[in-house]
Structure 1
Amino acid sequence: MFLKFFKKILIFLSPVVVLGIGYFVFDPFQILKAYEAYPDNFAKSLNRDRISTQIFLNNNPKYNYKSFIFGSSRSSVFYTEDWGKHINDKTPYHFDASCETVYGIATKLEFIEKQGNKLDNVLLVWDRSIFEYEQDTLGCVFIQDYRVSQLPWLKYHTIFLNSYFSQGFFTAFYDYMLFRNYRDYMMTYLEFRKINYTPVVNDFIFTSYIDEIKRDSVKYYNHPTLFYKRSPEKQLVGKVIKPYQQQYLKRIKAVLERNNTNYKIVLGPTYDQKYFNTDDLKVLQNFFGEEHIYDFSGQNEYTNDKTNYYEIYHYKPNVARDIMDRIYR
């Protein structure tokens, strides 16, 4: 009787067992081992924070990085090659993360310092979102690497396992892996735009956007879903820096001071043309000094021209190059 019951249980659980084996064999989120490189972003759930951390750990023994760019995916267009010319460093490191938080930046700085690196140069590319996202509410795409955040190893991996088994991710993943046909429902789970990561310096390049614009820029910038029409009125926002987040600003400042770092903070030109709140700006100035902060938010020569953007979330490398030319002039 017991054996018959046990066999039924095994049959019932066999799909789960097979899926579990598939998770460890195919590693869809690429977090189960240390990868040497990440050639492109296939799964939408690839975690940029994990990639940035792993590439740093892979290459730091050889390059002993001393210059770093921090920020969300909007910082990606501040290419290290362009920045390196301003700071006289051939191998700066791009330590960004999707939906980065101010907590994430503080812990990254402390993590780098614990590795024995000297932080000679730092470029912090910020906007309101740095203070709007909360690390403990982020899913597997955005959660910070446990080796930096000190999140328990088990909790970290449980987040990815839950995403794998829930909401149909594994269906889209194996469907595409087997048949190589894109189906509309996969858009929720898989990323079919080509996104490249450069070796050693870890730049993040929107390859598909670049190719589409080259093919037909007029069609691209008249696409009805990529851009919305903005109001000509001045766009103001309320405060976003919460009182408890000032402890993270304090930790960031402490690392920069200990290393006597040459650093600059760029408040980027977001497509929505909303100005960084003046009270929040004063908070940053009180911590870091006005001379370190460059505010490009609101309506200006960058935000007025929609061809300076890939879409409503990310501005382009030409904007970043011009900003760097101005602030390092």
Structure 2
Amino acid sequence: MEKIPETITDAPIRKRAAFLRLVRKSLWFALPFWALMALYVYDDPFMVLRKYDVYDSDVMLNEHHVGWQIYRNHKDSVHFNSFILGNSSTMAFRCAEWEKYLAPGDRAIRLFGNGESLKAISLKLHALEKEGAEIKNVLLVLDRTSLSRISPLSGYSNVLPAAVSGASPFVVQMEFMQAFAMPDFLFPYLKYRITRRVEPDMKRMNLYGRIRDSRNNDSFNPREKMIEQEGEAYWKNRKQEFPERKGMAVVEEPVLFQRQRELLEEIRKVLRRHDTSVRVLISPDYSQKALHPDDSAFLQSIFGKENVYDFSGINEFTEDYHHYYESGHYRPLLGNKLLERVYNTHHSG
């Protein structure tokens, strides 16, 4: 039987059919991706797609975004004019306690970041300027690591809000979408979504419930309740979290070089434009290692000797282990003592 030759019109039809088959296959392969994105948008697990009245979750959130959103939520009603900036050690300073040392009517909020950098602090101050904020008082809580760090850390938990960094909102959101799709988060999250239980081995999940104040971003550290319940046993049973100290004075190497000094100058310029009352507090780290005198001297030259308080090294505050949750963070018990020392010293001076 003679084969019928393909007509001119048959070829396009065959190509279209092949193309449609490819499209259908692609859609089937892409279906899990689109389902994942739909779940991400619907759940908004990191609370960055929509506005919320309360920023607490069973998922560990990005503290830069949380602090900024709490500020935006309440700035018109509370009229914040006082800002606690710095790293996670800011958890030791309660806004209401600091307000006792400020003028009547001054209202404070905590805008911190885990592993905070000097650049992030500068960007937050500039963002507050753009918002038209009155920057009357600033409490800057730093340590050697923060002073050395010139750029924000990477990853979803450290990316700054677009309104603060000036980055594209799409680029910022991509950080969160990528974190959501990573197996070490996604699989535990899907299990949590089914069981509604947070288990200790679930990465990036919050075991403790409410951990912050929804109006001023004060920290509610769950370890405070553990100390209340356990008493002295809290420290006795956690010796691995409190390494033995040699009791000898150790001075760290300098960390303030050209780029760090430029960023500190940027921060000072913003504060000077607003005639801000600033206190710079170097944290009393459990390690008892002292900030290098050159770094301390430069901070004094920038912010004024009377406004810089270096509590690093061996002193009455670092000696008492009861002041610490673990070797990396200290308690409001100590924060209150430091505020009293800072403001009483300043006023008496």
TM-score range, shorter chain: over 0.9
Contact 1:195 1:204 in 2 (8 A): no
Secondary structure, counterpart of 2:329 in structure 1? coil
One of 168, 171, 179 as aligned partner of 2:195: 179
1:242 match: 257
- Of residues 223, 227, 231, the one that matches 1:213 is 227
Contact 1:77-1:205 within 8 A present in 2 as well: no
Helix, strand or coil: the match of 2:317? coil
What residue identity is the alignment partner of 2:224?
I
Over aligned residue pairs, what C-alpha RMSD do you find? 1.8
Work out which of the residue numbers 65, 75, 93 in structure 2 matches 1:50: 65
Q: Aligned with 2:100: secondary structure?
A: helix
Measured in 2, the distance between the counterparts of 1:9 and 1:116 equals 49
After TM superposition, the structure 1 stretch with the greater mean CA deviation from structure 2, 50-59 or 60-69, is 60-69
Larger radius of gyration: 2
Name the CA distance, whole Å, in 1 between partners of 2:129 and 2:197. Answer: 45
Q: Which residue of 1 aligns with 2:292?
A: 277
Q: CA deviation at 1:195?
A: 4.6
Query: In the TM superposition, what is the alpha-carbon distance from 1:183 to its structure 2 partner?
Result: 4.2
Structure 1: gaps of 5 or more residues: none
- Contact 1:81/1:90 (<8 A) preserved: no
Q: Deviation of residue 135 (structure 1)?
A: 3.1
Corresponding residue for residue 286 of structure 1: 301
Match of 1:15 among 13, 25, 32: 32
Query: Among 76, 82, 87, which residue is 1:72 paired with?
Result: 87
Q: Is contact 2:290–2:313 with CA below 8 Å preserved after alignment?
A: yes
Per the normalisation by structure 1, the TM-score is 0.93
Task: Give the length in aligned residue pairs.
Answer: 325
Deviations 1:57-101 (A, max 9, x none): 111122221111111110122101101011034521212222211
Give the structure 2 partner of residue 204 of structure 1. Answer: 219
Matched, 1:140 2:156: yes
Please say if 1:159 is aligned against 2:168: no
Secondary structure of 2:250's aligned partner? coil
Correspondence 1:115-134 to 2 at 5 A:
115-134=131-150
| 2:51 is aligned with 1:34 | yes
Work out the percentage of aligned pairs sharing the same amino acid.
Answer: 28
Residue 2 (structure 1) shift = 4.0
* Shift in alpha-carbon separation, 1:205–1:320, aligned structure 2, 3 A: same
Task: Provide the residue aligned with 2:5 in structure 1.
Answer: none
Residues 263-272 or 176-185, more deviating: 176-185
Unpaired segments of 5 or more residues in structure 2? 1-17, 345-349
Structure 1 CA distance for aligned equivalents of residues 188 and 151 of structure 2: 27
1:192 is matched with which residue? Answer: 207
The one-character-per-residue Cα deviations of 1:177-222 (angstroms, maximum 9, x if unpaired) are 2113444531x3212134522132221221x211211121233212
Within 2, Cα distance between the matches of 1:194 and 1:302?
30
